[in-house]
Amino acid sequence: MNIFYYDIAVGLPIRQCFTYKSNNDIKKGTRVIVPFGNKTLVGIVVKKLSKTKSLEGLKDIISIPDDCACFDKSIFETILWAADYYHHPIGEVFLSFIPTLLRKKNDKIISTSNGESEYGINKDDKNFKLTKEQSVNLSKLNKIEKFSPSLIYGVTGSGKTEIYLQLAEKFLKENKSILILVPEINLIPQLLKRLKNRFKGEIGIYHSRQTPNQRLRVWLGSKFGEIKVVVGTRSSVLIPLKNLGAIIIDEEHDHSYKQADGFRFSGKDLAIKRAQLEKIPVFLGSATPSLQTLKLVKDKKYKKFDLLRRVDGKKPPKLIPLDISDSPLLGGLAVQTIGIIETAINRGEQVLIFINRRGFAPLYECDNCGWVAKCSSCESNLVFHKSKNRLICHKCESVYAVNDNCPDCQSIEISTFGTGTERVEEVLRSTFKKAPIIRMDYDSTRLKGSIEAIYEKANESKEAILVGTQMLSKGHDFPKVTLCVILNADGGLLSPEINAVEKISQQLIQVSGRAGRNNNLAKVVIQTRYPNDLNLKQIKTGDYQLVADQCLKNNKAIGMPPYSTISMLRATSPNHQSCHKFLEKVSNLLDNKKSITIIGPLPSIPLKIKGNTRNHLIIKTNTKTYLNKVLKFLTNEIQAWPETKKVKWSYDIDPHDMS
Ligand SMILES: [Zn+2]
Ligand SMILES: [Zn+2]
């Protein structure tokens, strides 16, 4: 009888595979059940070995649960690439791209089910004409057959979604499937509705707030061709759609494509890698493309397709800085601003108010002694949530009761400072008694169906005021809004962070895109104490390309991404000293390497989360290839250090948040 040897990846934080033997000939990418210590684990076959160094002590694979491989060739290769690029334990990478129910040994298995589905087109949904700009671009995009990343640079209201729908139609007619990625769960319902109106056939959705059974069903349906259209967030990027025709990445600039903890991958970059390995087109859409993408267009690696006119022929809204340096603010709103809102409401129009902070007030403080409410396990101020009458830590989501007395001096003179969505909502309610006030933030959209209810309320109402966080700036469509007010743009304009200008200009231009889809008089008012700020002057033109070109020029001059590549080594430990010393040792180790810049160790912000001190090191190199080499060397060294018993460490490759 033949004996085969395999390298198996298991879902543990270990950067290596383990060798097992079996009498069966097993394909790469297949799930197997293996003994590990005194447990049995699900593992993935990574490699078939021709010989092994030592046969002694090799354990047998216990069983092969599925009828076919879990990962097809291109997805398998994408995962190998990701584990290498992000320097993350390979088993964890494999398992993060299958539904949770398949990550453990149970009765759920992968076996062929019903046949493939046919998708019809609902002709009634298409009784409008494309603009000339749309048809010209669509016919060019339709001709792309192989891997070729295409940026669809379309100003808000230029009809990008219709282009996506018609591209999807083309691939469905060729009996292929299509994957559409969006940055946030909240953006799914709107797109789902358009897709359901257009196509007769199941539209699969895939994201982290579904039940494990829902995710398993969509995953299996995609694998066997029952589902041919999937809309999902970054976790759906490697969903095994059969005969995939293309990937569409909507709002490609959005930072939510990057996972912020654990396996910190970029769904966008993985989608592009997958498309490359599958040799299929990938379409990236945005009104405010990322600098990284724009540079690749300049380097002729990506093609760019411009949609610079709105389909309704209306002009984009005017961005108007409103000087509030002499105005007292009431719940973040200046008197002039309230006047402007009133005019719009009296005309029966809708207003959108954007403030980048949820809750009622970010500071809960004793007037007598200066005590400030802080989270006991993070070095973070607690935010007062009036609707819940609780103090909440926005870093770890711990909830605290509200103190009536100061815990330090027993004074009852406790005040709140600063403004969040709840406070703005309260001020608006007392000022505008008749207009419905609709709040849209993390707290008001957590329940299933809440986002749909918000749309419905906005649609039903005549005049109304929507108050929200950055969630409001993302691709949502509120057709009755004619006025947007941005309350705290100064924070973004003055931020010392690199790429702060890119971020704030994207945000302001995206918010402005929510206004005036049906109105020529729409405007965007930006409250500011710095109306003459140079960046603001550029952003005011509404010409994102102009702002982005300037940002690219600046970053080139100082050698920052996308003209260099950055990664962070993050370390956490209950002990501050160990954390700092560990990073200093890393820094010393890299000190004599060529063409590499090390910054730090730096304290992360906040310094403590859930009782652990956080520090980081920034590692900058000129090319990604060189960075990859340096980090491989580093990983090999660090793994053997005794310090790693006390310190948890991880890489953050291409970080968005450098704090
Ligand atoms: Zn006090
Ligand atoms: Zn906390």
Question: What is the per-residue pLDDT across 554-587, written as a single tens digit (0 to 9) for each?
Answer: 999 988 899 999 999 999 999 889 999 999 999 9
Cα of 377 vs centre of ligand 2, distance in Å, is 5
In a 3-state reduction of DSSP, which class is residue 490? helix
* CB-CB contact of 442 with 469 (8 Å): yes
Residues paired with 568 in a beta bridge: 618, 652
Cα of 610 vs centre of ligand 2, distance in Å, is 6
Question: With bands split at pLDDT 50, 70 and 90, how would you rate the model's confidence at 379?
Answer: confident
Region 96-111: mean pLDDT is 92
Nearest ligand to the C-alpha of residue 365? 1
Burial of 344 (0-12, 13-18, 19+ CB in 10 A): buried
Place of tokens 């990574």: 46
- Looking at 406-415, 416-425, 534-543, 559-568, which range is the least confident one? 534-543
CA–centroid distance for 473 within its chain? 14
Cα of 397 vs centre of ligand 2, distance in Å, is 6
pLDDT greater than 90 at residue 479: no
Question: With bands split at pLDDT 50, 70 and 90, how would you rate the model's confidence at 458?
Answer: confident
* Cα separations in angstroms, 486 against 204, 254, 571: 36, 19, 36
The letter for the amino acid at 33 is I
Region 624-647: mean pLDDT is 92
The letter for the amino acid at 162 is E
Cα of 576 vs centre of ligand 1, distance in Å, is 29
Question: With bands split at pLDDT 50, 70 and 90, how would you rate the model's confidence at 427?
Answer: very high
pLDDT greater than 70 at residue 256: yes
Q: What is the mean pLDDT of the chain?
A: 91
Nearest ligand to the C-alpha of residue 399? 2
**pLDDT at site 244:** 97
Cα of 385 vs centre of ligand 1, distance in Å, is 20
Nearest ligand to the C-alpha of residue 413? 1
**pLDDT at site 298:** 96
Nearest ligand to the C-alpha of residue 608? 2
Spatial separation of the C-alpha atoms in residues 220 and 239, rounded to whole Å: 9
pTM, 2 dp: 0.91
Nearest ligand to the C-alpha of residue 393? 2
Domains of the chain are: 4-102 (3.40.1440.60), 120-307 (3.40.50.300), 318-359+420-557 (3.40.50.300), 565-653 (3.30.70.600)
Segment 126-160, tens digit of pLDDT:
767 899 999 999 999 999 999 999 999 998 888 99
Spatial separation of the C-alpha atoms in residues 501 and 353, rounded to whole Å: 21
Place of tokens 């001709």: 143
Cα of 368 vs centre of ligand 1, distance in Å, is 5
Cα of 92 vs centre of ligand 2, distance in Å, is 27
Phi, psi of 43, rounded to the nearest 5 degrees: -130, 165
Question: With bands split at pLDDT 50, 70 and 90, how would you rate the model's confidence at 471?
Answer: confident
**pLDDT at site 150:** 98
Segment 39-78, tens digit of pLDDT:
999 999 999 998 766 677 889 999 999 999 999 999 999 9
Phi, psi of 50, rounded to the nearest 5 degrees: -80, -40
Cα of 614 vs centre of ligand 2, distance in Å, is 13
Cα of 377 vs centre of ligand 1, distance in Å, is 21
β-sheet with 59-60: strand ranges across: 31-36, 39-49, 4-10, 18-22, 59-60
